Amino acid sequence: MDLKDKLVSSFLAFESKVDVEHPVHDIRSEAIKNFEDKGFPSKKAEAWKYTSLKGLQKIDFSIFPKEVNALEYKEVKKFFLHEIETYKIVFIDGIYSSFLSETTHDGVDICLMSAALTKPMYKPVIDVYFNKIASKDESLTTLNTAFSREGAYIYIPKNKMPKKPIEILHFSTGNETSLMLQPRNLIIAEENAELQVIERHQSLTSNEVLTNSVTEIFAAENAIVDYYKVQNDSKAASLIDNTYINQKDKSVVKVHTFSFGGKLTRNNLNFFQNGEHIDSTMKGVTILSDKQHVDHHTLVHHIEPNCESHQDYKGIYGENSTGVFNGKIIVDKIAQKTNAFQKNNNILISDKATINTKPQLEIFADDVKCSHGCTIGQLDEEALFYLQSRGIPKKEARALLMYAFANNVLESVHIPELKSRINKLIALKLGVRLGFDL
Amino acid sequence: MAYTEEELKKELETKEYEYGFYTDIESDTLPVGLNEDIVVAISKKKEEPSWMTDWRLKAFKAWKEMEEPEWANVTYQKPDFQAISYYSAPNSKPKYDSLDEVDPELLDTFKKLGISLDEQKKLTGVAVDIVIDSVSVATTFKKTLAEKGIIFCSISEAIKEHPELVQKYIGSVVPQKDNFYAALNSAVFSDGSFCYIPKGVRCPMELSTYFRINQAGTGQFERTLVIADEGSYVSYLEGCTAPSRDENQLHAAVVELIALDGSEIKYSTVQNWFPGDKNGKGGVFNFVTKRGICEKNAKISWTQVETGSAITWKYPSCILKGDNSIGEFYSIAVTNNYQQADTGTKMVHLGKNTRSTIISKGISAGKSQNSYRGLVQVSSRAENARNFSQCDSLLMGNECGAHTFPYIEVKNKTAQIEHEATTSKIGEDQIFYCNQRGINTEKAIALIVNGFSKEVLNKLPMEFAVEAQKLLEISLEGSVG
């Protein structure tokens, strides 16, 4: 049975586990219908031209994990940002681990989607926000919506700010030979609220994992959201990440994506600017090796006037890896005085690596400043020679130059511990040790 | 000049004879619709050899299987392919007896473009007195070309006279099955031009001049084949700055360029077909496939100025097959009122040390939509490939749109690709500066647009650059509120 049929038929089994009377279930039923119609996107679809899901569809993923698995903190400590205090929402094989987590209801809600979807006290919020900006048409998003049950739920009321950053971690133990996970996150920052989130997916074995995640983020007036995605998963782990962000007046949302690992990673990052004087920032560093495939699809929809968006994606591609960047900027007719900038720089360091990039501008307003730049090139031979002539070995010299290349993106990481962690990951990925942090 | 009136008369007589072949079929336009019989009938009427008929049939078979592409960023009512008559002999009778009968608006445009009276007559289909300067100029040109061994004739003539060249190269760059419109064109192409430049010959003139005067009505399915043999050079200009009011709604042309080792082809297009009226009614659909292949050290340079047509769907491309070959693309696309243009280029780098440059300028005004769609592809064997792309869009008014869809696919680590795009409007301070110096707003805009398009205009042959510049002004007339 192929994966689509399996998923569609599993929906019946899924219905026995959730409250079918809850209004959210109507949304689920609607969503599974859409997925049944559309199925997995093929390479014929323009948005999936460079990324094939064919291989994944052949794997017999189990949709529901068989048992509850536990992990010792010391086993997984290194995946946490343990240098600082954080709130933690941890899932093991898709199931919430209260032992590893640290949630709160003290002034802010940092807890679980399963609670939010079932408890009456959250219903008013769910009614207003759940599935409101996630696409009702895109097949993978609707697939997630159909099976939405668990994930992180974060609600920051007006003028509040959680005391520490929030980590969302998904571990897969490999107890199943192949597992499909569909976490669903909802993050709401009310007026003047501020928060920082770090999201990470980690597989602990070499068994196949496919994660199809959907995150909805709502930033109300003047809210500030800082979101970091750390993607350094095992070679058998694939991730399809769909993030939808709705911004209101004067809100600032930044999303940083660090892609170093995984088999296939697809990031669909969608910004909708429903207000004026909004600032949206997307930055990313991608360093790939082996047969890895990372696909960044960004969309910024400028709906109202006087907004800004900034995109900066850097990629270093080695061995047989493939990188894709598709950045789309839409400026509506009334969105005058929009400033939209996009930059995508790539370095190929292997003969077999491939980069496909497609920056796309669709502009309907005349009084705008929009630009996009894209480069593909190599490390500067002269700079390399300069460093070597001063006694720095070639490997380190190359790494140093690549660090410099990626540094623009790292500069805007506001959590110093995270920044040094990312630096270490980059060093690890480049196979060098540098005696300093950038 | 050693060319006497006597000779000219003779030449004209033989010319009449050449066309005499049309006279007996003039009455029978083929029935509406398209099927295998029609394709065979077209081939027969053109007295084509059997290999050509087979070639057309193969294309037709492929076309039947294909679907009309929908990926372009344009919306229009799809033409009904069974409601078109695919062959009608060129009408040799003049449409009008004198210029007075021609639409005065059209004549006004001619005047602005500075087109000579005789040419105006020719372009509007007014009966032309036989002994005029232009004809003798044309015949002299033909003689000069023949001396150099350059073959420049209609493609139907080439199929009969030079079958070995045509058979070898037709469809070698744009295969019959390439795309929907190319397949259609391959099956039913009415006529077009053929040009062959022998080894080491530098074509002494812009083939444009000749072309403008002698172009017969080539119909809606035009096929052009240009072959530059080793070490040769040719500059070819297609189209015309003058507006042409063609009643054909659909134009599906194919242009193939073959640049053999060390040769250079410069292909310039000025397209100003009827764009429809101010309310977006009518207008020509222009679906063109243009592609060139570069062998070792060869160079192909496309320059285009697109101001007409209701729908433009056009991607002049270069396949840089040989090592050290060069591809260039310079384009200005202007859309006004309800026009829609989806245009750009493909640069396919296959050989080592290949270089390509893309400069695209889009200007949208009124309620028009202007898209740039391009592909830069570097294969894994194309060492040291280099590309520079720049796409700039200028928006005038808040009801138009500018879009860019640049695809970049690189499979070689030594490649250096740069792409940049900007979108903006004409700065108020720029206009203010001009106003302050006594230049009215309309003139100021023309000035700024000219500056914006200069990089491309500079690439056009001189006399056309001047006309193209005026054409831009005319196309944008009244678009400033």
Mark which residues 250-269 of A lie under 8 Å from B by CB: none
User: How many beta carbons lie within 10 A of that of residue B33, not counting itself?
Assistant: 14
Tell me if A114 is assigned to some domain.
Answer: yes
Same domain flag for A96 and A240: yes
Question: Which position has the higher pLDDT, A221 or B450?
Answer: A221
A369–B401 C-beta distance less than 8 A? no
Residue B375 has pLDDT above 80, yes or no: yes
Contact present, B399 and B367 (Cβ < 8 Å): yes
Residues 6 or more apart whose Cβ sits within 8 Å of residue A329 = A299, A300, A302, A309, A340, A342, A360, A361, A362, A363, A370, A372
- Using pLDDT thresholds of 50, 70 and 90, give the confidence band for residue B217: very low
Q: What is the extent of the structural domain holding A426?
A: 379-438
- Closest residue, chain B, to A360 (C-alpha): B405
Tell me if A338 is assigned to some domain.
Answer: no
Instruction: Please state the three-class secondary structure of A79-116 as a single string.
Output: HCCCCCCCEEEEEECCEECCCCCECECCCCEEEEHHHH
Contact present, A357 and A378 (Cβ < 8 Å): no
Rounded Cα gap, residues B204 and B142, in angstroms:
11
Check residue B112 and give its pLDDT.
Answer: 63
Residue B168 has pLDDT above 60, yes or no: yes
Tell me the Cα Rg of chain A.
21
Same domain flag for A238 and A387: no
Residue B179 has pLDDT above 70, yes or no: yes
Instruction: Give the residue from A274, A305, A330 where a domain finishes.
Output: A274
- Using pLDDT thresholds of 50, 70 and 90, give the confidence band for residue B23: very low
**Which of A368, A369, A376 is closest, CB to CB, to B415?**
A376
**What share of residues in chain B are helix, strand, coil (percent, to 5)?**
30, 30, 40
Residue B223 has pLDDT above 80, yes or no: yes
- Helix, strand or coil, per DSSP, at residue B469: helix
Tell me if A92 is assigned to some domain.
Answer: yes
Residue B384 has pLDDT above 50, yes or no: yes
Beta-bridge mates of residue B257: B226, B292
Same domain flag for A31 and A165: yes
Tokens linked to A24: 């959210």
- Find, among A288, A183, A325, A202, the residue nearest to A243 by Cα: A183
- Kindly list the residues from chain A whose CB atom is less than 8 angstroms away from the CB atom of residue B405: 358, 360
Question: Which position has the higher pLDDT, A381 or B108?
Answer: A381
Rounded Cα gap, residues A400 and A434, in angstroms:
8
pLDDT tens digits, one per residue of B432-449: 999 999 998 888 888 888
Q: Is B128 exposed, middle or buried (0-12, 13-18, 19+ CB in 10 A)?
A: middle
Contact present, B302 and B332 (Cβ < 8 Å): no
Same domain flag for A268 and A385: no
Same domain flag for A383 and A270: no
Chain B closest-CA separation from residue A258 CA (Å)? 22
B413–A349 C-beta distance less than 8 A? yes
For chain A, what is the domain count?
A: 2
- Closest residue, chain A, to B379 (C-alpha): A354
**What share of residues in chain A are helix, strand, coil (percent, to 5)?**
25, 40, 35
Residue B283 has pLDDT above 80, yes or no: no
User: In chain A, which stretches have pLDDT less than 70?
Assistant: 1, 67, 433-438
Mean of pLDDT values over B118-124: 56
Same domain flag for A263 and A392: no
- Kindly list the residues from chain B whose CB atom is less than 8 angstroms away from the CB atom of residue A332: none
Same domain flag for A255 and A385: no
A364–B423 C-beta distance less than 8 A? no
- Kindly list the residues from chain A whose CB atom is less than 8 angstroms away from the CB atom of residue B412: 348, 351
Tell me if A33 is assigned to some domain.
Answer: yes
Question: Which position has the higher pLDDT, A199 or B46?
Answer: A199
Tell me if A268 is assigned to some domain.
Answer: yes
**Which of A346, A351, A363 is closest, CB to CB, to B423?**
A363
- Kindly list the residues from chain B whose CB atom is less than 8 angstroms away from the CB atom of residue A357: 407-409
**Which of A351, A352, A368 is closest, CB to CB, to B423?**
A368
Q: What proportion of chain B, given as a percentage, has pLDDT over 70? A: 75
Tell me if A354 is assigned to some domain.
Answer: no
ipTM (interface predicted TM): 0.73
B402–A361 C-beta distance less than 8 A? yes
Tell me if A308 is assigned to some domain.
Answer: no
From first CA to last CA, the distance across chain B in angstroms is: 54
Chain A closest-CA separation from residue B445 CA (Å)? 15
Tell me if A305 is assigned to some domain.
Answer: no
- Kindly list the residues from chain B whose CB atom is less than 8 angstroms away from the CB atom of residue A368: 395, 423-425
Mean of pLDDT values over B260-272: 89
- Using pLDDT thresholds of 50, 70 and 90, give the confidence band for residue B124: low
- Using pLDDT thresholds of 50, 70 and 90, give the confidence band for residue B259: very high
Residue B453 has pLDDT above 90, yes or no: no
- Kindly list the residues from chain B whose CB atom is less than 8 angstroms away from the CB atom of residue A364: 400-401
Beta-bridge mates of residue B291: B256, B317
Same domain flag for A132 and A251: yes
Rounded Cα gap, residues A49 and A52, in angstroms:
8
User: How many beta carbons lie within 10 A of that of residue A266, not counting itself?
Assistant: 23
Beta-bridge mates of residue A312: A283, A343
B399–A333 C-beta distance less than 8 A? yes
Instruction: Give the residue from A255, A274, A293 where a domain finishes.
Output: A274
- Kindly list the residues from chain B whose CB atom is less than 8 angstroms away from the CB atom of residue A374: 406, 408, 417-420
pLDDT tens digits, one per residue of B385-426: 999 998 888 888 778 888 888 888 998 888 888 888 888 888
Residue B205 has pLDDT above 60, yes or no: yes
Same domain flag for A264 and A407: no
Instruction: Give the residue from A274, A302, A328 where a domain finishes.
Output: A274
The size of the A-B interface in CB pairs under 8 A is 113
- Closest residue, chain A, to B422 (C-alpha): A371
Mark which residues 30-49 of A lie under 8 Å from B by CB: 46
**What are the residue ranges of helices labelled H in A99-193?**
113-118, 123-129, 139-146
Same domain flag for A117 and A239: yes
